[in-house]
Amino acid sequence: MFFQPAGGGLYPESPHSYIADSLLWIVLIMSVVFAFFLLVEYLNTRQKHHVLWAMSFIATFILYHLVANNGTLGVALNSLTAGFTVAIPGLIAAGLMYAIWGKEKKLLDRWSFAGLYLLGVVVMFVIVSILSLGNIQDAILKAHLDLNPSATITNIVFVPVILIMIFNLINSVAIIGLSVYSTVKTKETSRAAWLMAIGGILYVIAGIFLGLILAELDDAILVYFKNTIVYFLAGGTILYAFGMLYEEKWRFNIPGIEFEDR
């Protein structure tokens, strides 16, 4: 599989592989905890951003659990799990729109920006999931080989990956822009919102690394990017989580934790 370096394992040549593995399990535990309390908060407040963020953490748990158990990011290319890779940041971005604008800010005075973006996330999820199905990949491969007999299977496997890169760039830019907008322009959020923006930046960097991996550079460079990309993905997820928890405007409650408002 594309993300599986030679020799097996997710980080077989990295001296810090145990750190990466531990980080994945930290994200898994955190995802369960945050998803649970976000759902509880939604039941109490009926705020849409809480349920969208809970769904994002549920998707994170499923995807990262598969990665941790299989020892390869290659599972991210398998149908629904591929869809999760765009749903995770996409749901966070859509939730931010609901948290900042609600249903008030509309396009052509008819459709809310948040609702339209959420619809876009659903479309992203469906497209990536369908294109990652085995039989669809086989059909694309057959059609491509008919046109170009010298093509290899890796050329076709990369089709959903390229879409994942494009969609996640859109999602990350939306997260960064919304965080900056609410903190700098409207001043409705505190510096805690910058955690979300930095998380978006880490996702952008992960996307750049993914592009460099696709470029099939020197083997030593490839190993470095493959061994490093998980830190940016996991780090971005952790920053998203604590940005949600600490920002007064959109936070949720966890029993035993008290906040000092600005």
Highest mean pLDDT among 106-120, 146-160, 178-192, 211-225: 178-192
Confidence of residue 36 (pLDDT cuts 50, 70, 90): very high
What does each C-alpha distance from 5 to 12, 185, 198, 225 come to in angstroms?
A: 7, 45, 29, 11
CA–CA distances in Å: residue 198 to residues 2, 15, 178, 215, 230: 28, 27, 12, 26, 16
pTM for the whole structure = 0.83
pLDDT in the model for residue 3: 43
Higher-pLDDT residue of 12, 167: 167
**Residue % of the chain over a pLDDT of 90:** 32
78 has a pLDDT exceeding 50 = yes
The mean per-residue pLDDT over the stretch 241-248 comes to 87
Residue 234 has pLDDT above 80, yes or no: yes
Q: Which residue would you say has higher pLDDT here, 64 or 109?
A: 64
Taking alpha carbons only, the member of 155, 1, 9 closest to residue 82 is 1
pLDDT over threshold 80, residue 174: yes
Q: What is the pLDDT of residues 84-140, one digit of tens each?
A: 989 999 999 999 999 988 777 776 667 788 899 999 999 999 998 888 776 776 676
List the end-to-end C-alpha distance of the chain, in Å, as a whole number: 49
β-strands 106-107, 111-112 pairing: antiparallel
Instruction: Supply the pLDDT for residue 221.
Output: 65
Domains, in order of start, for the chain: 17-246 (1.20.1070)
